[in-house]
């Protein structure tokens, strides 16, 4: 999105001697990928890019994921805390995002990559997987090169595996690869509870080992032999992740999957876009219903199933997040910024802003100025 991001903390993993991922007993769905042999004699390993950082500002957190455009809106009240662990190898990327509060995520999945989301903790919270377009009890195959929106509940925690399209061409038929590239919506790949738990443990282990490989004390002074050992371990773990994506897609072809998204999701997304537009900046919930031509009861039910909260709470939070982004990115007076989003009463605006973010608008701007220097 083009905004500068600022790390406000660091949470390094410990170092360890085990460079190879250990196989969990009875891995179920991933048992075949542990012995997966992907032969690519001409593959070149570039230097991996890693990030392992904590953030206390939702916009900085959204900006931290390189080459993956996204915008996050904090929905539940409190001080935001997010943790990103991100390892990008030559042909595969593995990242984990953890957030303590409910966040509406607006993203565009990258071109040239096939991505799956593995939930570590995505609670139901009164919502439905079908409506929010993300699975809390299965694996989500993300749409290809598309806008994607979902609302994560408090304490959301997930891992995304993103594989270069070129690496899948030798492993999938032309028709199967075409199906993946034409996917414009998310799909849930069903897995048994025990298999999902083992898959979660395996992915956490792979990520931890990749981070340890890059954080060894001798990483920058390693000999050619040590570099070869490290690159071999990276290649083996990379191939396991590629095999994981192939295995999950194979399951989807066996009708172990279902498309996600419905009218409830569409209404919430349209509502969000409308209240952030010039025409809807001061719209009430009733006016949103009129704009979308739906009864208020339908809109309320849609927000319950997608976001786990009322339309009024969600749409107020969307506007306040718009204010926050503008406070960070511009030098307009606070009152003028608030008015741009339909907040004309300073007392009410200040109260609701502080309730949502745990700080005043002035504190947000002062913090931004300190970080700039």
Secondary structure (DSSP) of 123-171: --TT--HHHHT--SSSEEEPPSSSEEEEEE-TTEEEEEEEEEHHHHTTT
- Cite the residue boundaries of each domain of the chain with CATH code 1.10.10.60: 263-372
pLDDT at 213 over 90: no
Is residue 280 within 8 A of residue 303, CB to CB? The reply is no
pLDDT at 353 over 90: yes
Average pLDDT over residues 140-154: 95
Among 4-18, 185-199, 306-320, the least confident range: 4-18
Give the residue with greater pLDDT, 358 vs 28: 358
Q: What is the model's pLDDT at position 35?
A: 36
Q: Band of the pLDDT at 172, cuts 50, 70, 90?
A: confident
Q: What is the model's pLDDT at position 347?
A: 97
Alpha helices by DSSP H, listed for 38-137, are 58-63, 129-132
Backbone angles phi, psi at 197, to 5 degrees: -60, -40
Average pLDDT over residues 129-144: 94
Backbone angles phi, psi at 176, to 5 degrees: -65, -40
Average pLDDT over residues 326-330: 95
Average pLDDT over residues 203-207: 89
Is residue 323 within 8 A of residue 341, CB to CB? The reply is yes
Instruction: State the CB neighbour count (10 A cutoff) for residue 359.
Output: 14
Average pLDDT over residues 236-264: 81
Calculate the average pLDDT of the chain.
84
pLDDT at 277 over 50: yes
Instruction: Choose from 129-133, 170-174, 201-205 the range with maximum mean pLDDT.
Output: 129-133
Q: Is the Cα torsion angle 172, 174, 179, 184 positive or negative in sign? A: positive
pTM: 0.83
Instruction: State the CB neighbour count (10 A cutoff) for residue 167.
Output: 22
Q: Tokens 């390892």 correspond to what residue?
A: 87
Q: What is the pLDDT of residues 99-135, one digit of tens each?
A: 999 999 999 999 999 899 999 999 988 999 999 999 9
Q: Band of the pLDDT at 351, cuts 50, 70, 90?
A: very high
Give the residue with greater pLDDT, 243 vs 269: 269
Is residue 104 within 8 A of residue 220, CB to CB? The reply is no
pLDDT at 82 over 50: yes
Q: Band of the pLDDT at 30, cuts 50, 70, 90?
A: very low
Q: What is the model's pLDDT at position 220?
A: 60
Q: Band of the pLDDT at 328, cuts 50, 70, 90?
A: very high
Q: Tokens 């926050």 correspond to what residue?
A: 324
In the CATH scheme, what architecture does the domain 263-372 have? Orthogonal Bundle (1.10)
Among 72-81, 192-201, 298-307, the least confident range: 192-201
Q: Band of the pLDDT at 364, cuts 50, 70, 90?
A: very high
Is residue 292 within 8 A of residue 264, CB to CB? The reply is no
What CA–CA distances, in Å, run from 20 to 14, 29, 45, 234?
Answer: 15, 20, 17, 9
Average pLDDT over residues 223-247: 77
pLDDT at 63 over 50: yes
Q: How far apart are CA 209 and CA 19, in angstroms?
A: 6
Q: What is the model's pLDDT at position 339?
A: 96
Give the whole-number percent of the chain exceeding pLDDT 90: 58
Q: How far apart are CA 361 and CA 193, in angstroms?
A: 44
């Amino acid at each position: 999105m083009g905004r500068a991001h600022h790390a406000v903390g660091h949470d390094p993993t410990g170092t360890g001697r085990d460079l190879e991922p250990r196989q969990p007993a009875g891995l179920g769905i991933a048992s075949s990928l542990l012995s997966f042999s992907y032969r690519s004699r001409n593959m070149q390993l570039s230097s991996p890019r890693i990030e392992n950082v904590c953030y206390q500002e939702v916009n900085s957190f959204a900006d931290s994921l390189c080459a993956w455009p996204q915008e996050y809106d904090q929905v539940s009240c409190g001080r935001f805390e997010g943790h990103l662990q991100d390892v990008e190898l030559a042909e595969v990327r593995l990242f984990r995002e953890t957030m303590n509060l409910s966040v509406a995520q607006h993203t565009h999945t990258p071109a040239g990559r096939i991505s799956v989301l593995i939930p570590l903790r995505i609670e139901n919270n009164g919502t439905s997987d079908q409506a929010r377009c993300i699975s809390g009890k299965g694996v989500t195959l993300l749409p290809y090169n598309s806008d994607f929106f979902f609302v994560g509940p408090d304490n959301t925690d997930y891992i995304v595996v993103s594989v270069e399209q070129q690496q899948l061409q030798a492993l999938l038929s032309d028709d199967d690869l075409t199906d993946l590239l034409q996917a414009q919506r998310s799909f849930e790949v069903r897995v048994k509870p025990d298999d999902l738990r083992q898959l979660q443990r395996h992915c956490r282990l792979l990520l931890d080992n990749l981070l340890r490989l890059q954080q060894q004390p001798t990483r920058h002074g390693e000999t050619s032999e040590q570099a070869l050992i490290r690159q071999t371990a990276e290649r083996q773990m990379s191939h396991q992740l590629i095999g994981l994506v192939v295995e999950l897609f194979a399951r989807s072809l066996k009708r172990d999957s279902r498309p996600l998204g419905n009218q409830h999701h569409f209404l919430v997304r349209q509502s969000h876009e409308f209240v952030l537009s010039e025409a809807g900046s001061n719209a009430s919930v009733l006016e949103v219903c009129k704009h979308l031509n739906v009864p208020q009861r339908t809109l309320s039910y849609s927000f319950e199933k997608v976001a786990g909260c009322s339309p009024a709470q969600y749409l107020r939070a969307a506007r306040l997040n718009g204010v926050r982004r503008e406070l960070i990115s511009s030098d307009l007076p606070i009152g003028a910024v608030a008015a741009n989003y339909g907040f004309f009463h300073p007392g009410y605006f200040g109260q609701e802003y502080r309730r949502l973010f745990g700080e005043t608008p002035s504190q947000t701007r002062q913090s931004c100025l300190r970080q700039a220097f």
